[in-house]
């Protein structure tokens, strides 16, 4: 099928520049104005001409103003609506939308005449292999991460046992019901059909999120409940509910679309945008919708071609995949933090940055004493947030998260009190401790099931990190001495009392021993020793006297950018250093004398036994996805919001970046002066 130019224009994104007149206060939202501007519309007040457009919000109660002006002036209408993946909370809570539908012909839920979306579904070829593969991957990603239009729910919240019939309620007076050829009475009819067609089965009526939040009323109340019909008001994952359903009934709800994407064939009583394409059982079909689509084609049109997705961190329109990454970071932060945390074992200077990352839903309560912290967490229903190295047997709570710096941390050392751009949280263990499972191990094991688009994202991140020479701290000079010709081995020094050494090493636990072992294995190699920056500054244990180091190393690379050294060397010998993972990203071979998180997966040479539970064999891209995307949480210092890893890569490359204040700078210097007594302040 060959589309006409009109259809190509819809899919391509509309005009390059056109005046848009507005008469609704809702368009004063900065986010909405920005998406419209980036989409090619110049917002104006006043009287439009016949060649202009007038913006109205769907078929809202205020849309009549713009409609009247359109009739008077001859200007066309642009109907604006939220996209199908909107935000964590409903718009009435003040949450800005992640994307918009900008429709010059109608609105997607008005079945009285075709909208831009309906024309895409009816006339666009929807036969591009790459487009359909993107659609299939995104459907998997949405289900796996439990995403929906609104996302203020816990995917782990209990749901009824599988085998129920799912009936979807909607809010009273919703325009999609009236304009989707539905009615108030249709909800009673729908429930009756569900009960008659599934005798003896449990009927679960799912309320709308805005009903749960108290913003609007629904069509069902407690009066419909009987022995097998239940009103379900808990904020749970729609994806989880759909997984347990044997049938889905809806009038025009978006969950009907989500049901199709999840593999259901919903019974549809109204005329929503997804009805009439051969993917639903339609009680009241739209006669003009004669085409038969696949799920991937429906999704591609509705989620990739039709919406305008927005990246608030880079202030640009973006792809669906980028929008998913943004929403995933926001959703994860809310799901982890909305109950609140009691934080224990946090040094004073870290508390401000930790509050920004973990305290946006509810401010953190800091309590160092493990017993009191545990009691507060239990009494308040909060989880317990513990700096991983400070965990004790006295720490106990229903939910415990161990916290550590992430792998793309900052431009500068934590020892210099530079706040982190990334932190990891682990409810099972912690990544550097191989004596017990960790959430990172679990993610690496699952990474072999990633979709092609997720692999592509990981490969893009690896390419960006290597191209921009990024590492954990991003410090050091770019220059280093001529290393000479031959096999060049980089030996990164570590902090010898570091928790990764204590838990992940056995017979090799010092930098001097690591150097000795590397030289014994490679007597003719050129060995480059890079001391750890915290050790170089005298802040941590692990110094090797220069005369001792030169017994085994040809070069000592002080204050040198580690990524430059990795590029210059052929092989890395390490105990548990993160530089081993950074070397893998750059295509170098790595030998591990300890058990770092990246060992035992078939990508390194190990001289120490690794846990048998590390049985998966991920590719480098799969491993990197778990380590850099799935495991850490990233925080944007510019917007003070949770963000995807790509944003942090941009900030580390181009800035701006947070800097410690005068107090922290003074404290950092005092730490250096009193480094020999570090146990007192660590």
Structure-derived torsion over alpha carbons of residues 287, 289, 293, 296, reported in degrees to the nearest 10:
-120
* pLDDT confidence of residue 575: 98
For residues 81-87, give the mean pLDDT. Answer: 97
Instruction: Flag whether 475 is in a domain.
Output: yes
Regarding whether 654 and 518 lie in a shared domain, the answer is: yes
Q: Which helix (H) or strand (E) holds 50?
A: none
- Candidate from 211-225, 582-596, 607-621, 635-649 with smallest mean pLDDT: 211-225
Residue 538, Ramachandran bin (φ over 0: left; ψ between -120 and 50: alpha; else beta): left
Tell whether 116 and 163 lie within a shared domain. Answer: no
Cα–Cα dist 222/629, whole Å? 43
pLDDT for the residue numbered 415: 65
Residue 314 lies in a domain: no
Q: What is the pLDDT of residues 20-72, one digit of tens each?
A: 999 988 898 999 999 999 999 999 999 999 999 999 999 998 999 999 999 99
Poorest-pLDDT segment among 3-7, 531-535, 538-542: 3-7
| Together in a domain, 493 and 587 | yes
The answer to whether the beta carbons of residues 585 and 465 sit under 8 Å apart is yes
Residue 384 lies in a domain: no
Last residue of a domain, one of 272, 306, 334: 272
pLDDT for 662: 55
Q: Angle, to 10 degrees, between the axis of helix 320-337 and the axis of helix 129-144? A: 0
Range of the domain at 34: 5-123
Question: Are the C-beta atoms of 370 and 394 separated by less than 8 Å?
Answer: yes
pLDDT of residue 144: 96
> Any idea what DSSP says for residue 468?
T
Cα 585 from Cα 581, distance rounded (Å): 6
The answer to whether residues 475 and 563 belong to one domain is yes
Quote the pLDDT of residue 673: 46
> Per-residue pLDDT for 669 more than 60?
no
Q: Mean pLDDT, to the nearest integer, of 238-244?
A: 97
- The model's pLDDT over 261-310, given as tens digits with 9 standing for 90+, comes to 999 999 999 999 999 999 999 999 999 999 999 999 999 999 999 999 99
Shared domain for 184 and 46, answered yes or no, is no
**pLDDT above 50 (res 665):** no
Do 458 and 537 belong to one domain?
Answer: yes
- pLDDT (tens digit, 9 = 90+) per residue, 242-270? 999 999 999 999 999 999 999 999 999 99
541 located within any domain: yes
**DSSP β-ladder status, 571-574 and 488-492:** parallel
pLDDT in tens, 384-425: 999 999 999 999 999 999 999 999 999 987 667 899 999 999
99 and 172 share one domain: no
Higher pLDDT, 675 or 120: 120
Alpha-helical (H) ranges within 97-146 are 116-123, 129-144
Report the 10 Å Cβ neighbour count for 514: 26
359: Cβ contacts below 8 Å, ≥ 6 apart: 337, 341
Picking from 272, 297, 328, the residue at the C-terminal end of a domain is: 272
**Which tokens belong to 668?**
């950092």
Indicate whether 378 belongs to any domain.
no
> Is residue 235 scored above 70 in pLDDT?
yes
Sign of CA dihedral 136, 139, 140, 141: positive
Instruction: Please tell me the least confidently modeled range out of 180-184, 215-219, 434-438, 584-588.
Output: 215-219
Could you tell me if residue 201 is inside a domain? yes
Q: Kindly tell me if the per-residue pLDDT of 676 is higher than 70.
A: no
Q: Is the pLDDT of residue 333 over 70?
A: yes
- Domain with residue 243: its CATH number is 3.40.50
CA distance 150 to 155: 13
Biggest CA–CA distance in the chain, Å, is 89
Token pair of 117 as six digits: 């979306």
Q: Are 203 and 195 in contact (CB under 8 A)?
A: yes
Asked if pLDDT for residue 16 goes beyond 70, the answer is no
Question: What burial class does residue 657 get, using C-beta atoms within 10 Å of its C-beta: 0-12 exposed, 13-18 middle, 19+ buried?
Answer: middle
Which burial class, exposed, middle or buried, applies to 273 when counting CB atoms under 10 A from its CB (0-12, 13-18, 19+)? buried
Same domain, 114 and 165: no
Q: What pLDDT is stored for residue 17 in this prediction?
A: 79
CA angle 225, 226, 228 (to 5 degrees): 105
What integer pLDDT is reported at residue 183 of this predicted model? 95
Look at residue 450 and tell me if it is in a domain.
yes
Dist CA 550 CA 537 (whole Å): 20
In a domain, 359, yes or no: no
Mean pLDDT (the chain) is 93
110 and 150 share one domain: no
Q: Where are the alpha helices (DSSP H) in 228-382?
A: 238-244, 254-261, 295-299, 320-337, 351-358, 370-380
CA distances from 472 to 502, 533, 668 (A): 21, 11, 19
Confidence of residue 3 (pLDDT cuts 50, 70, 90): low
Do 575 and 455 lie in one domain? The reply is yes
Domain count, the chain: 3
Asked if residue 574 and residue 472 are part of one domain, the reply reads: yes
Q: Which pLDDT tens digit goes with each residue over 107-153?
A: 999 999 999 999 999 999 999 999 999 999 999 999 999 999 999 99
- Looking at the fold, whether 640 and 602 belong to one and the same domain comes out as yes
| Interatomic CA distance for residues 133 and 139, integer angstroms | 10
Q: Is the confidence at residue 496, as pLDDT, over 90? A: yes
Examine the fold and report which residue of 213, 242, 272 is the final residue of a domain before the chain moves on.
272
DSSP per-residue string spanning 349-372: GGHHHHHHHH-SSS--EE--SHHH
| Neighbouring-strand partners of residue 507 | none
**Is a pLDDT exceeding 90 seen at residue 8?**
no
Q: Do residues 147 and 324 lie in contact, with contact meaning Cβ atoms separated by under 8 Å? A: yes
**310: helix, strand or coil:** strand
Question: Residue 467 to residues 172, 461, 516, 567, 623: CA-CA distances in angstroms?
Answer: 54, 10, 33, 11, 19
Closest to 219 (Cα-Cα) out of 168, 150, 291, 267: 168
Residue 548 has a pLDDT of: 95
Q: Round to whole Å and give the CA distance between 23 and 70.
A: 11
The residues, ordered by sequence, that sit 6+ positions from 28 with a Cβ below 8 Å of its Cβ are none
pLDDT at 65: 93
For tokens 């991983």, the residue is 388
Q: Is the pLDDT of residue 340 over 60?
A: yes
Percent share of the chain, pLDDT over 90:
85
């Amino acid at each position: 099928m060959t589309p006409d130019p009109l259809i190509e224009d819809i899919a391509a994104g509309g005009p390059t520049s056109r005046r848009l007149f507005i008469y609704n206060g809702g368009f004063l939202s900065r986010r909405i104005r920005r998406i419209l501007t980036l989409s090619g519309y110049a917002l104006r007040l006043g009287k439009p001409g016949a060649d202009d457009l007038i913006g109205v919000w769907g078929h809202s109660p205020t849309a009549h103003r713009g409609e009247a002006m359109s009739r008077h002036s001859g200007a066309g209408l642009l109907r604006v609506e939220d996209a199908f993946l909107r935000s964590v909370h409903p718009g009435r809570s003040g949450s800005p939308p992640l994307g918009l539908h900008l429709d010059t012909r109608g609105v997607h839920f008005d079945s009285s005449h075709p909208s831009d979306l309906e024309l895409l579904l009816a006339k666009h070829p929807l036969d591009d292999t790459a487009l359909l593969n993107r659609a299939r991957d995104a459907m998997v990603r949405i289900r796996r991460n439990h995403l929906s239009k609104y996302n203020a729910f816990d995917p782990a919240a209990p749901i009824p046992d599988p085998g129920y019939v799912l009936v979807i309620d909607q809010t009273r007076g919703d325009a999609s019901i009236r304009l989707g050829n539905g009615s108030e009475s249709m909800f009673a009819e729908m429930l009756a059909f569900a009960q008659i067609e599934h005798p003896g089965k449990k009927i679960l009526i799912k309320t709308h999120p805005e009903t749960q939040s108290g913003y609007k009323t629904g069509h069902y109340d407690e009066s419909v409940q009987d022995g097998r019909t239940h009103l379900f008001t808990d904020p749970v994952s729609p994806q989880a509910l759909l997984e347990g359903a044997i049938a889905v009934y809806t009038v025009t709800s978006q969950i009907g679309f989500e049901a199709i994407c999840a593999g259901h064939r919903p019974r549809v009583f109204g005329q929503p945008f997804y009805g009439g394409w051969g993917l639903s059982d339609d009680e009241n079909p739209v006669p003009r919708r004669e085409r038969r689509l696949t799920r991937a084609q429906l999704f591609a049109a509705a989620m990739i071609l039709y919406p305008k997705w927005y990246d608030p961190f880079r202030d640009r329109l973006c792809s669906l995949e980028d929008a998913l990454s943004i929403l995933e970071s926001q959703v994860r932060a809310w799901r982890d933090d909305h109950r609140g945390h009691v934080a224990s074992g946090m040094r004073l200077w870290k508390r401000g940055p930790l509050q920004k990352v973990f305290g946006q839903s509810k401010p953190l309560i800091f309590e160092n004493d493990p017993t009191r912290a545990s009691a507060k967490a239990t009494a308040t229903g909060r989880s317990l947030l513990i700096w991983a190295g400070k965990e004790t047997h006295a720490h106990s709570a229903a939910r415990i998260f161990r916290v550590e710096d992430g792998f793309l941390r900052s431009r500068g050392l934590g020892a210099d009190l530079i706040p982190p751009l990334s932190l990891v949280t682990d409810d099972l263990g912690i990544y550097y401790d191989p004596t017990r499972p960790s959430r990172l191990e679990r993610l690496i094991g699952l990474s072999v099931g990633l979709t092609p688009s997720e692999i592509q994202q990981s490969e893009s991140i690896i390419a960006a990190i290597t191209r921009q020479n990024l590492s954990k701290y991003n410090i050091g000079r770019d220059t280093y001495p001529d290393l000479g010709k031959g096999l060049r081995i980089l030996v990164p020094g570590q902090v010898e009392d570091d928790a990764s050494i204590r838990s992940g090493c056995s017979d090799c636990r010092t930098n001097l021993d690591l150097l000795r072992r590397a030289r014994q294995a490679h007597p003719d190699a050129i060995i480059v020793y890079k001391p750890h920056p915290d050790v170089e500054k005298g802040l941590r244990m692990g110094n090797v006297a220069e005369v001792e180091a030169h017994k085994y190393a040809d070069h000592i690379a002080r204050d040198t950018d580690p990524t430059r050294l990795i590029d210059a060397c052929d092989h890395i010998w390490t105990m548990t250093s993160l530089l081993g993972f950074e070397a893998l990203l750059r295509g170098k071979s790595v030998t591990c004398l300890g058990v770092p998180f990246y060992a035992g997966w078939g990508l390194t040479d190990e001289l120490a036994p690794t846990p048998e539970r590390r049985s998966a064999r991920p590719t480098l891209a799969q491993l990197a996805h778990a380590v850099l995307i799935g495991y850490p949480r990233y925080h944007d210092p510019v917007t003070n919001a949770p963000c995807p890893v790509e944003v942090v890569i941009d900030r580390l490359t181009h800035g701006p970046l947070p800097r410690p204040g005068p107090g922290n700078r003074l404290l950092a210097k005092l730490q250096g002066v009193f480094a020999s007594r570090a146990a007192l302040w660590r």
